Structure 1
Amino acid sequence: MAWKSRTRNLQVFDTELSADTAEWCPLSSMQHLLACGTYQLQKGAGEEDAAPSRTGRLYLFEFRREISMSPPLTELQRMDTAAILDLKWCHVPVSGEAVLGLAAANGELQLYTLSHSQEGGRSLHPLCSLEVGAERLALSLDWSTGRMDSSDVRVVCSDSAGCVSVLSLAEGALVSLSQWKAHDFEAWISAFSYWDTQLVYSGGDDCKLRGWDLRAGPACPTFTSKRHSMGVCSIHSNPHREHILATGSYDEQVLLWDGRNMRQPLSETPLGGGVWRLKWHPTHEQLLLAACMHNDFHILHCQQALEASGGACPVVASYILHNSLAYGADWSHLSLEEAAPCSNVAAEPKESLTESGGHLRIQYESPTASFDTSLEDDAGRYIPESIAAPTVLPAAAPVFSSKEDAPSLSCLLASCSFYDHMLHVWRWDWTPEEAQQEPEQC
């Protein structure tokens, strides 16, 4: 069965500082909450050799679908921090609270808890922090809870000195369990195997992908792969399919692996841009989101690779409205089966509103380019015209089996780009052509 695919922008927010990470909360009662982190390099003032400083800001947003003709994303909080390299929500509550982890440029792993005010509002508050090393940047983190397992909550963190640290959270404090030298240069990424959390993966600027068994100690990796030809930037364990691992690199390739055989990947997919982040879909094991630095954001359909059929994974959707480095991206766990909200673009960019043929139209002028989007059709649905053409699959699109897929899928996503400091919230609709051709019932 062939599928049609369309991405639709819902809102654009100017983060003011360079945006590099966006994460939706996975907890069932808080899936409408979105965190975004920024990173800004400030040149030293005065003397030419003055050390630069790295500053950041942490944002917390709430997504609301029920407010018609209003922006669905509302800023709840902003907090100045050290520059942020990575954000991750713990997948389970810790002592009954949502916890957000932050990898900071001052070398700290910082944790924040989400609190509720008497007025019903939510805000983040510092819980604890731990420096993973002096004069280094914390670059990434991952929680051991990817399969919603709360029995053993730990964090893995990588840093600019090439080290990987594993920490536990006990009585509101971070405790270092182990740290070791994993890579010759920056260790860009570290991640747990969600199916066996004694296994940790790491990737570095030395072009190496490595595995580690915490039971055996970090003296020697369980494997070292040089299959990527440039620095390894992204690793994500599939929470729905045991042994499956996705990796991305500056070499512009996405590799899928079976963890039982790391000599040869299951699949290799060129995406035309350095692959900074990869995220498996929260419920659909075959869908993979990729943030591709110089080449936008893409959704891969990995079903054939997961069935060991080989070949590249086809791209079923692309989001192309960012105008700078595509860094942060994440799926929301919210369902968007109902009609998407109609919304204006964030008020910071220049806007001009006109009515044309029953459509509300907005001109969004970004720092580097401009484009038109049609926000609403005559039936009240939000359908930007400018992105319909490039994101609908052509007639010769790959054909997939639908036995594992719902008849249609509507997903909420967030993505952010660096130098234009923009956060986008968008939806992706994926519908079988057969369903589209069914006559409407009166």
Structure 2
Amino acid sequence: MDNTVMDRRGFLGRGLAVGCSLAASPLMTPVSFAATGGENRLVVIILRGGLDGLDLLQPDDAGLRQLRPTLLAGARSGQELTDGMMLHAAAKPLWPLWRAGELAFVQGVSTPYRNKRSHFDGQDLLEAGTASLQPGTAREGWLNRMLQHMPNSQMTTAYAVGADPMLLSQGAAEVETWSPDVGFVLSSQGARLLELTMERDPEMALAMQKAMVLAGDDGGGVFEIADSGMMMDELETMMEAQMSPQGRGRAGAHVRVAEFAAQQLRDAARVACFSIGGWDTHSHQARGLRAPLKRLSDSLLALKAGVGEKVWGRTTVLAMTEFGRTVAENGTRGTDHGTGGMMVMAGGAIRGQRVHGQLTGFEEADLFQGRDLMPTDDVRRYAAWAIRESFGLDQAALEGVVFPGMQLGDAPGLLA
């Protein structure tokens, strides 16, 4: 299969008007590793597309229910965690991590990015770790800058899955390539591209979806075909059978990425990063969020199983997204690009069973520009404290080099 190297901005610029789906869900996820001194591990997962933290962890709030009449309709069916916060039903496989004190959340966080709500710029800013994106400056990721300031780090075990290395890991470290053994590489972004090109031909879209199912694609892309609910139910059943342990499908590519990460972390690697796409839920979010939440749950559980209890006890996982989503649902039963968002933390090294951060409320006056969750803290600050508590980097390096312009502030007590 010919995997053509393609610049993501140039791809859109050459006239294929596909909206925001390319940035929201890359065709293949990169994964990088680095060996450092010590025994603690750090895994960074970029959730591409804008995770709706208010759906993943649903507050018990009457005002929010009015703004989300279909997303929060009826009895809540997830798992209650704390203070009325309900974990989304599709993320219930993570309940054992919460119960074991190995799962936590940070609400109301964002990068310094404001107002434009572009996936490309939002992701670049998240991975660069800077306060702004200056034209002409070197493209370097905060994880790479962290490694350059860590004693005894050996930047010789860096890998990238696919043809588009993450900005997060770019810098002085050289990057080699690795790809999971998949015969049909097409994620929800690829499905979305096909959907947009076939939106006027439902029969062709349905045929393509069937081909994807039979080929074993697990990218989470399920076409929304108007007036074909029964066909979609049939396809979803086929997909579940194809990917179930009893079915004939192989483990999903996201699981193989996590298993490969675990293998490296058991050995010399101490730092890893990769991404999970599919979080851009503009329409039919109740259906569309299930697949990426399953991929996130699968990946976290595969990491824990793969590294073993001893290494997991020294591991911190940070799952970060470029921005949140609008507080009110839109006319297509989805949510649009927002501002304040959520970080998910996991690992045996963290202080779990906690929800950090602050929600200011859901009245119009409480929201950013009257529409988005108000950002109350810098997501970089929580990443910086995780680094400091894991590897001992000093304040000057974190505030001046790794995350320039970020103020470390008081310790939130993230790690046990």
Q: Fold-level match, TM-score > 0.5? A: no
Task: Name the one with the larger strand percent.
Answer: 1
Greater relative contact order: 1 or 2 (C-alpha under 8 angstroms, separation 6 or more)?
2
Task: Name the one with the larger helix percent.
Answer: 2
TM-score by length of 2: 0.26
